[in-house]
A and B are shown apart, each in its own frame.
Chain A
Amino acid sequence: MDQWIIASEFAEVAVSLDTDANGPRLRVEDLRGGRVRYLDALELESVVWLSDERVRELLDPSAGRWSDRPADG
């Protein structure tokens, strides 16, 4: 399994193509937090088409990991 590490001083993520399922998907692992998320083709396409505003919302620390509400997933 080819794996790429995409890292900066702010985050470190391992990205690889997962083929264990019935169709291919992207495996994304937060190497600092240990959490893994799989993104299928449609989800990836949606990420590509997200507005900058939506991406900014994703970058809000309170939007996920450090939310006052329990994280989804």
Chain B
Amino acid sequence: MTVQYSELIQPERVHGSLYTDPSIFAEELERIWYRTWVCVGHVSEVARPGDYVRKNVAAQDVIMTRSADGEVGLLLNRCAHRGNLVCEDRRGNSSSFRCPYHGWTYRNTGELLGYPYNQGYGGKNKLELGLGRVPRVDIYQGFVFASFAAEGPTLKEHLGAAAGELDRLARLSPEGEVELTAGWLRHRAKANWKLLVENETDGYHPQFVHGSVFSVTGSPIGALYSDKSTAVTRDLGGGHSENDLRPEFRRAARPMGWFGTSEARVPDYVAKMRALHGEQAEEILIEGAPHVMVFPNLFIAEISVFTIQPTAVDETVQNVTAVQLKGAPEMNRRLLSQCVGSVGPAGMLLADDSEMYERNQRGMAARRPEWLDIRRGVGRERIDENGFRIGAANDETGMRGFWAHYRGLMEEGAAQ
């Protein structure tokens, strides 16, 4: 029976089966993960010709490569002969991949170079086979995106207003570029991927879920999400949303305050930024990095970058790395240590959040009540000067934007 998403997704509530039904998960793979644009990684992970890293788009095992001519490509990790993985290591440097099963060898562009004992195939170059390639690859601010659909909206169209948030992140670098070179941690959570997405810009939970961390560290983050905060949650359209903390940072007017530090602690970085940007440096240093969820799987939490990978209806892998700013070694050390402290293997924030995702998933096994509520702030939403819907810092405006877009994708072209 075809799922009627209009019945499961309503303006102020969503049905629990959206997180638990395997058939819905299967449909999401086709309609979202293998059709729209999904963030795979970053060009800095394959900086040199021959560099490769293994990535995932949902269940698809993908190899991100840089060819001899410098082009970044995405290959499917599947030998054209018998389907074996051609690449096992998470990262490396090789112009070619050789399948361990029968020795078939491919260029890192996917081209088949040869196969052992070729007389069995009538000689050399008799097979027109190669590794599968992701049909569309595009890059924005160094972030590499994949689309398994040969046609459709461009990456720029997909990103829409979220592109500006990636610009905001890049402008924090004295050289205008982010690098994701610190290595990735992989966290597995027994929870549906949408719970993670929803949590990323949920400003209602921090004071509860992270309350103990904030209290022992004296962190001011909790106050950013209080009812007294002037920060907002913004629906950027296209399923993207952000917690815009800039109003609070502007009110404090403290350079580097967004990073919980002072300019005296990162003098080289601040000096570089002032030399580069002049008067505008103050705005950049005060406003800091974005807190944005780019549909469906790229989350930037100021100092950390996450990609979300659904592996089953009730299991998700969250990959996380520290933001690194090109040309800012002084900042990068601090960015890395803060990232590890918050979302590393023993990271205090991620441990809190993971517990919540998994409790959510377990709780939803209960059959009543059937719905999850997302109405917080409906009555006080407004449209900002740029036409975006915004709510208070701890409202569920972003979630409602996510679900509206999700519903559109899941219903698009479906038989009525």
Interface residues of A (CB under 8 A from B): 8-11, 52, 55-56, 59-63, 65-68
Contacting pair B89 A62 (CB below 8 A): no
Task: Tell me which residues across on chain B come within 8 A of A52, comparing CB atoms.
Answer: 68
Contacting pair A62 B88 (CB below 8 A): no
Q: In the complex, how many angstroms separate the beta carbon of A14 from the nearest chain B beta carbon?
A: 17
Interface residue stretch chosen among B91-99, B203-211, B349-357 = B91-99
A73 and B87 CA atoms in complex are apart in Å by: 30
**Could you list 20 further interchain pairs (A-B, Cβ under 8 angstroms) beyond the known A9-B88, A10-B96, A10-B98?**
A8-B94, A9-B89, A10-B97, A52-B68, A56-B113, A59-B95, A59-B107, A60-B114, A60-B118, A60-B124, A61-B103, A61-B105, A61-B114, A61-B115, A62-B115, A62-B116, A62-B118, A67-B117, A68-B117, A68-B118
A9 and B96 CA atoms in complex are apart in Å by: 11
Task: Tell me which residues across on chain A come within 8 A of B92, comparing CB atoms.
Answer: 8-9
- B106 closest partner in A (C-beta): A59
Task: Tell me which residues across on chain A come within 8 A of B103, comparing CB atoms.
Answer: 61, 66
Of the candidates B87, B89, B105, B118, the one whose C-beta lies within 8 Å of that of A59 is B105
- B125 closest partner in A (C-beta): A60
Task: Tell me which residues across on chain A come within 8 A of B124, comparing CB atoms.
Answer: 60, 62
Q: In the complex, how many angstroms separate the beta carbon of B204 from the nearest chain A beta carbon?
A: 46
CB-CB nearest 3 A-B residue pairs: A60-B114, A66-B116, A62-B118
Interface residues of B (CB under 8 A from A): 68, 87-89, 92-98, 103-105, 107, 113-119, 124
Residue contacts A-B, CB under 8 angstroms, 29 given? A8-B94, A9-B87, A9-B88, A9-B89, A9-B94, A10-B96, A10-B97, A55-B95, A56-B107, A59-B95, A59-B96, A59-B105, A59-B107, A59-B113, A60-B105, A61-B103, A61-B104, A62-B115, A62-B116, A62-B117, A62-B118, A62-B124, A63-B114, A65-B116, A66-B116, A66-B117, A67-B117, A68-B117, A68-B119
A66 and B113 CA atoms in complex are apart in Å by: 14
Q: In the complex, how many angstroms separate the beta carbon of B49 from the nearest chain A beta carbon?
A: 11
* Known contacts A8-B89, A9-B89; A62 and B114 CB within 8 A of each other: yes
Task: Tell me which residues across on chain A come within 8 A of B96, comparing CB atoms.
Answer: 10, 59
Task: Tell me which residues across on chain B come within 8 A of A63, comparing CB atoms.
Answer: 114
